[in-house]
Structures are given as C-alpha cells and as structure tokens.
Amino acid sequence: MTSISGRGCARGFGVGFVLAASVADIANVGNADQSLWPTGVLLLAGLTAVLWPAERRPVWLTPQLRTAVTALLSVLFTAGALLTGREILFGPGEATILLCLLFVAVRHCTPRWAVACGVLDGVALLLLPVRSSHSLQDGGALGLMVGGLVLAGLVAGLAAYLRSLDYRRTVAVTETRREERVAIAADLHDFVAHHVTGILVQTQVARMMASTRPDDLDPVLAGIERAATEALASMRRTVGVLRDTGDEPADRRPVGDLAAITGLAEGFASPVQKVTLHRDPTLPDDLPHEVQAAAFRVVQESLTNVRRHAADAAEIIVGMCWSRGRLEVSVSDDGRGGTQLPAAAHGGGFGLVGLTERVTALGGELHAGPRVHAGWEVRAVFPVTRP
C-alpha cells in the first residue's frame, strides 16, 4: 500500500510540474507579445502524448506516434523561426515534454523505432536554443545546448537501463514458465506411463484368466477401468495447465503426497502380485510438500519399473520410515527380471536419472540395485526440515 501511494504521489508531482512548466511557457510568450497559437498547439500535443492515462489510451496512439508528432512539431517550429528570422522564446515546459518523450521512445518503442524517435526527440531538444538566438556562436545558446545534451544523455541512459531490466524480467519469466511446463510434461509422462503400463499388465492377466478363472475377472477389469480413468484425468488436468497462458493453477497439476502412496500401492496390487505397505507410525503428515511429492514419484516410478522389468515378481514391499529427521522411502520386489511385456513397452527412458535429480535437488540420496537373494530395490533418503 505504501509503495502504491508513493508512486501515486510521484506521478501527481510530475504531472503538476509539467503543467506548471507549460503555463510558464504560455506566460513567457504572452509577455513577449508573440503569437500564442503555435506554442499552444505544440504544448497541447506534447501534454496529450505525455499525460494521457495508459488505461484510457486508444490503440492508435502508439509510443511511436506519441513521441514523433510532438518532436516534429517542435523541429518545424524551430525551422519556421529560422526561415522567418524571428526570435521565438522557448521555456521549460517544451523542454520537459521533449525529455519525457525521449524517455518514452527509448523505453517503450520497438527497437527500430526507439532509435529513430529517440534521435528525433533529442534533436528537437537541442535545437530549442537556436530558436531564440539564431546562431551557434552565442555562448548562452551553446551552453544551453550542452546542458540539453547532458540531460538527454541521462534520460536516455536511464530509459535504456529500465528497458534492459524489463527485458531481463521478461526473459526470466518466460524461462521459468518454460521450465515449469517441461516439469509438468515430465509429471504427465510419469503418471500416464504408470497407469498405461498397469493397464497392459492387467490386460495380459485378464487374457490368461479368461480361459482358466473367468469368474475372477471382474476385479481385474475394474482395475483396468480405474487405471484408464486416472490416466485420462491426469492428461486432462495437465493439458489444461499447458494451455494456460497465465500462472499455472496448482490444483490442476498432477500431484502426489505421502497419503497418496497408500492408494498407489493398493491400486498396483493384482491377483498375481501382492503389495505390502509398511508405514512408520511416527511418520509425520506435515512434511514439506516438495519432499512428499518426490517420495511419491520414487514409489510411482519404482512400481512402474516393476511392471516393465519384473512382471514375475510375486511380492512388492513399499516402506516409509522416519528417523532423526530423515525420511526413507523404499520399494523392493522379489522378481528375477522375467517379463512378458512387448519390447516397445519396456521404456528405455530416463526414469531413474530423473528420480536421482529430483532427490539430490532436495539434498537426498537415491540408491537402486539388486537385492542380496533376488529382486530389485530402490531406496531414497530425504533430510527433512519440518515447518
């Protein structure tokens, strides 16, 4: 609130100064018994270009038009004074307006127009002393031109600096959104790969049971239906996020936490595979969200790999342990690497590599390798700072 009030006060002071300086210009011209209408038209065009509120500004009033028209009128006014031989006074109002328009040109015009309009505004500003002296030999006029050159350089430099900050901010926001969308796409791959692999495995089980145990098919078919529904829901949420041009709503991104691991394990179980979940009763529920999401991804990717590479596993054990501020998540199986999945369904992606990056980014460690007797184990340890 203080920042908004400060900007409002600064804007009000600037508007008041420009208006007061313009009134001083009119007064000076009137006291010199010179025609008021050229100065009035010039100041009116300049004040319109500078003070027209941005939220009410018409589309056709572009930064190029705003900065070029007033500068052209000023240059023509100066050229008319030189051609007619008349000395015409200039004041602080016109100089202030030209400086403001120089700032607008450098900061807001497109790159090509920024140079052209900036040079035009600067030339119009530097020619103001010539309008009244008609000679560059006049020491006073030369001093005013040097002062104008310094002011123009300072204003243009400040505008260029702010323009570079705007550019850096835009690049940073674009890069952040791109990285977030890449991460969302990776999450989508994890979710869909998990569910589709489950559909494939359970379909194979259903085909085998169709001839031997047809009465037990209903749970298998229900699991296929549930996995397909969850995959479609994940894709729908994620595609909605990727289409959004604004900030990504968090509730539409596929997420997982420690509580969701229970449902993940229960949904993975099948008539030929038993899944046992061991959760430490002392494990708190208020761990940081990023740690819970990473733990969920470890379990999800590990279960997906069991289906891909160890479909012969009869028992899978999922463990969640809590000790001395460290969360340990593990998934182990007793498979021997036998699988009947088609070669195209084996993956060959970067699942473990992605998990390693996710875990180590949180200061944790990931270990994956064969067990002593048979099977495979994935274990991730996270150091946790509780809120």
In 3D, which of 328, 322, 326, 329 has the Cα closest to residue 384? 326
Please give the pLDDT value at position 72: 93
**In this structure, are residues 339 and 274 in contact, taking their beta carbons and an 8 Å threshold?**
no
**In this structure, are residues 335 and 376 in contact, taking their beta carbons and an 8 Å threshold?**
yes
Please give the pLDDT value at position 174: 77
Task: Tell me the torsion sign for CA atoms 188, 189, 192, 195.
Answer: negative
How many CA atoms lie within 13 Å of 123's alpha carbon, on the beta-carbon side? 16
| Burial of residue 273, with CB atoms counted within 10 A of its CB: 0-12 exposed, 13-18 middle, 19 or more buried | buried
| Burial of residue 19, with CB atoms counted within 10 A of its CB: 0-12 exposed, 13-18 middle, 19 or more buried | middle
Could you please state the CATH topology (level 3) that the domain comprising 257-387 is classified under. Answer: Heat Shock Protein 90 (3.30.565)
Cβ within 8 Å of residue 356, ≥6 positions away: 366
Please give the pLDDT value at position 7: 59
Instruction: Quote the CA–CA distance of 173 and 184 in Å, as a whole number.
Output: 16
Please give the pLDDT value at position 248: 44
The first and second tokens of residue 184, run together, are 């969302």
Instruction: Quote the CA–CA distance of 217 and 311 in Å, as a whole number.
Output: 19
Rounded mean pLDDT for each run of 10 residues along the chain, 387 residues in total: 54 80 83 79 89 87 91 89 77 90 92 91 89 64 83 92 90 75 66 68 70 71 71 64 50 65 81 85 84 87 82 87 91 76 51 78 88 87 78
**Domain limits, CATH 3.30.565.10, in the chain:** 257-387
**In this structure, are residues 130 and 136 in contact, taking their beta carbons and an 8 Å threshold?**
yes
Instruction: Quote the CA–CA distance of 300 and 354 in Å, as a whole number.
Output: 13
In 3D, which of 301, 357, 288 has the Cα closest to residue 327? 288
Instruction: Quote the CA–CA distance of 267 and 63 in Å, as a whole number.
Output: 60
Cβ within 8 Å of residue 376, ≥6 positions away: 305, 306, 309, 310, 332, 333, 335, 368, 369, 370
Q: Which H, E and C letters describe the chain, residue by residue?
A: CHHHHHHHHHHHHHHHHHHHHHHHHHHHHHHCCCCCHHHHHHHHHHHHHHHCCHHHCCCCCCHHHHHHHHHHHHHHHHHHHHHHCCCCCCCHHHHHHHHHHHHHHHHHCCHHHHHHHHHHHHHHHHCHHHHHHCCCCCHHHHHHHHHHHHHHHHHHHHHHHHHHHHHHHHHHHHHHHHHHHHHHHHHHHHHHHHHHHHHHHHHHHHHHHHHHCHHHHHHHHHHHHHHHHHHHHHHHHHHHHHHCCCCCCHHHCCCCCHHHHHHHHHHHCECCEEEEEEECCCCCCCCCHHHHHHHHHHHHHHHHHHHHHCCCCCEEEEEEEEECCEEEEEEEECCCCCCCCCHHHCCCCCHHHHHHHHHHHCCCEEEEEECCCCCEEEEEEEECCCC
